[in-house]
Structure 1
């Protein structure tokens, strides 16, 4: 038996005699910040504000957890300024608010505390993913933003001087297997640099949670729907503008969240199979962390050379032989000859294994794991359209945010270029949606017509 096959069998404790298997879902690094247990799943009930605070702390090397600041703040405040004895702690807290969820001061973002809710672990996981995906610990603009903006009045100075020091991170962070990380990192780096160049820090602070939440949305949508996709073709998932009406034939319905939902319906099984294939290919070695970051999706594995593909196919057949004996599935192993189309045969074997796992793994566990997609409705990225179901939703706030980023510090930008910039960020709209967005631009006085015919339309800068 090949060592990779043996490693996988041992890891899953596969035992045909006892007909026993332990379905393990974590092999090395985590792919998505989803959970098989409902309480830990992030519910998005605070508009991504607490996650933004966690992101800021992790980026600066501090512990992600931060609970109530009040006691330490009051102690420091009484040391910093002379407070009359007849002023109570509660009165001081009415003057100096320490709930910074709506702060415009970037230095206070790391002090956005995290509530002691059941989904605290989920919030920290999401924050860890984004810090690693966007490489925020090494993003100079982001770190400068968090440390910049000196206090410009006495109130702000007293507040700043009285805040307790944040604790240093002293434990290992959860690590993630990142898919297409360079794309997301470079895109965010460019976006945030544009925002910082504008010097409009109020705009950044009011929108930073939306920017992070959108990157999270796009990452899970495009990553989760492509794990076992054999093609690397660029997919397009369409949004609808929140104020428009949609019909069944619209792209937002046919090529939007409905398709995402179908492709991610078996996300837990898909991830399990991705792990299996990476182990069986020798690309991932269990208990060898140096290999954990090199996991590949199916499309990448199918691009291996013919010898490596043949090894993967043979190892998968060997594994399925043992698995089928353990769980009592009928399995007919196809003989491999020089005429065998290795890629197609491998895909057939994978599809059969997927059907087995969908039946064998707990259905409730599978449903709970996938539910993280539906939770994004709390962030207003999904909107129910009656009998048409949920569609990806672009709010006016998101349109204005990415209009600001795409137009940047130019005086204005050709309308066509603005929509191209949207698409570069994963915001796809059909023609009808674009027309509705143009009407919105007119309503908020962002549209300029540079010719009598109206053909040359430009969008003004927001920053």
Structure 2
């Protein structure tokens, strides 16, 4: 089982690398608005669409619907200014964000970013929002719900590349959904954070495929924004921004090669999953031979120098392909090298700008602001009332966020300042952290 359309000679190999899956950026045109992305994510999460119900009609319907309840025209003008004139109704309940997911309200770039979250969400169902509303807001929401439609056509066809990120995203989204007002307040932070965690862990895990198993969280060290970053902090220097930056160079080459290897089906697999499936194929020898022929054709077309293996092991042949994929981009003096460099800068610029700072001699480091730290803490504590500090930091790591010992002490000091920590004794093992919602 392998793409039956794989070229078998250098003349058939297209002299162009394309990317359609798993990475939400291209080498240009990546600007996006979170408002539109949030709308698209809500559309996918709720399996609902307001595509046939525009905002202007909704305002007219709301006025007519409430006229009998209000009695006087002047009350409508108050409500219009309060809820509708500046679209403040979108902050009343999450469902109203469907207005930002209508055609003409979003761009291709925003659609790509939303597809990232579709991959993380998969077919997970959120609990129904139980938003605390006043009686007028309940009436307006009821009217809106009566006008929108079921929509099951936006589910992803991509198998999760980083399952541990997908699992935590689903769990954390559910936690927020059970607290709709907190969800509305934090949805942008939540999606911004997960977009970066996904891109960072994707970069770190991209060549971790040879076991055929889902990747585990790779160390990625952050500091708090109130901390000083000294060059002597080994983890921060070696396994922080530098590790992330060095890994992003592999994203476009490997993912664009993966595009060529996808089976001729309607579902897209990450490299580790593709390898696992091919390794179990009843046509193993045919798969290996086809890939070896393609490797040689690709090498000749790109005029590359790598020595290909004579092995008949699938892992060796796929490694050849990944080596070729990277080799074609090695020189920044070539067009391909320039394009790959743009991809690297776009990933860091579009998704890392809230988490990357320059700190003097320490250079660029990964930073978590207090707002993101409180959100992350609440998500990890989840439905528990409190959580032991050690278990809390384990929850951070499971999402791809690591702190060194110095940062962990700064973390305790921060929790003490905001008053959500309990010390059962002087022992660090007896430190508990409460959520703030």
- Does 1:304 find its partner at 2:279? yes
The answer (yes or no) to whether the contact 1:54–1:64 under 8 Å persists in 2 is: no
Which residue of the partner structure matches residue 380 of structure 2? Answer: 406
How far 1:246 moved relative to its partner?
Answer: 0.7
How far 1:114 moved relative to its partner?
Answer: 7.5
Deviations for 1:19-65, whole angstroms, at most 9, x for unmatched residues?
x8342425xx72222224x22x144xx5x443222211223334587
Which residue of the partner structure matches residue 268 of structure 2? Answer: 293
My pick for the range that moved more, 212-221 or 344-353, is 344-353
Mapping 1:424-435, distance limit 5 Å: 424-435=398-409
How far 1:113 moved relative to its partner?
Answer: 6.2
Which residue of the partner structure matches residue 184 of structure 2? Answer: 205
Which residue of the partner structure matches residue 121 of structure 2? Answer: 134
Q: Secondary structure at the match of 1:413?
A: strand
Which residue of the partner structure matches residue 110 of structure 1? Answer: 98
My pick for the range that moved more, 390-399 or 80-89, is 80-89
How far 1:109 moved relative to its partner?
Answer: 3.6
Which residue of the partner structure matches residue 25 of structure 2? Answer: 34
How far 1:431 moved relative to its partner?
Answer: 0.6
- Does 1:124 find its partner at 2:111? yes
Mapping 1:159-238, distance limit 5 Å: 159-160=140-141, 163=144, 165-166=147-148, 169=151, 175-181=157-163, 183-195=164-176, 200-229=179-208, 234=216, 235-238=218-221
11, 27, 37: which one aligns with 1:51? 37
Q: TM-score, normalised by structure 2?
A: 0.79
Q: Secondary structure at the match of 2:7?
A: helix
The answer (yes or no) to whether the contact 1:134–1:185 under 8 Å persists in 2 is: yes
Number of residue-to-residue matches in the alignment: 426
Q: Secondary structure at the match of 1:451?
A: coil
Paired with 2:426 and 2:300, the residues of 1 have a C-alpha distance of 76
The answer (yes or no) to whether the contact 2:160–2:166 under 8 Å persists in 1 is: no
Task: Say if 1:158 and 1:50 are closer, same or farther in 2 by CA, change over 3 A.
Answer: same
Task: Say if 1:348 and 1:391 are closer, same or farther in 2 by CA, change over 3 A.
Answer: same
Q: Secondary structure at the match of 1:8?
A: coil
Which residue of the partner structure matches residue 77 of structure 1? Answer: 62
Which residue of the partner structure matches residue 351 of structure 1? Answer: 323
Q: Secondary structure at the match of 1:96?
A: helix
Q: Secondary structure at the match of 2:6?
A: helix
301, 306, 318: which one aligns with 1:326? 301
Any gaps of 5 or more consecutive residues in structure 2?
Answer: none
Task: Say if 1:303 and 1:255 are closer, same or farther in 2 by CA, change over 3 A.
Answer: farther
- Does 1:15 find its partner at 2:15? no
Paired with 2:54 and 2:357, the residues of 1 have a C-alpha distance of 34
Which residue of the partner structure matches residue 18 of structure 2? Answer: 25
Which residue of the partner structure matches residue 149 of structure 1? Answer: 131
Paired with 1:187 and 1:376, the residues of 2 have a C-alpha distance of 22
Paired with 1:431 and 1:115, the residues of 2 have a C-alpha distance of 49
Task: Say if 1:309 and 1:255 are closer, same or farther in 2 by CA, change over 3 A.
Answer: farther
Task: Say if 1:85 and 1:14 are closer, same or farther in 2 by CA, change over 3 A.
Answer: farther
Q: Aligned-pair RMSD on alpha carbons?
A: 4.1
Task: Say if 1:248 and 1:177 are closer, same or farther in 2 by CA, change over 3 A.
Answer: same
Which residue of the partner structure matches residue 368 of structure 1? Answer: 342
Paired with 2:345 and 2:89, the residues of 1 have a C-alpha distance of 26
How far 1:443 moved relative to its partner?
Answer: 0.8
Which residue of the partner structure matches residue 383 of structure 1? Answer: 357
Task: Say if 1:439 and 1:114 are closer, same or farther in 2 by CA, change over 3 A.
Answer: farther
How far 1:346 moved relative to its partner?
Answer: 5.7
The answer (yes or no) to whether the contact 2:15–2:301 under 8 Å persists in 1 is: no
My pick for the range that moved more, 365-374 or 443-452, is 365-374
The answer (yes or no) to whether the contact 1:384–1:391 under 8 Å persists in 2 is: yes
The answer (yes or no) to whether the contact 2:328–2:336 under 8 Å persists in 1 is: no
Task: Say if 1:384 and 1:415 are closer, same or farther in 2 by CA, change over 3 A.
Answer: same
How far 1:174 moved relative to its partner?
Answer: 6.2
Any gaps of 5 or more consecutive residues in structure 1?
Answer: none
Deviations for 1:169-224, whole angstroms, at most 9, x for unmatched residues?
5966664342143x34443343345556xx64432332233223323222222123
The answer (yes or no) to whether the contact 1:210–1:398 under 8 Å persists in 2 is: yes
- Does 1:441 find its partner at 2:423? no
Paired with 1:171 and 1:5, the residues of 2 have a C-alpha distance of 26
Q: Secondary structure at the match of 1:422?
A: helix
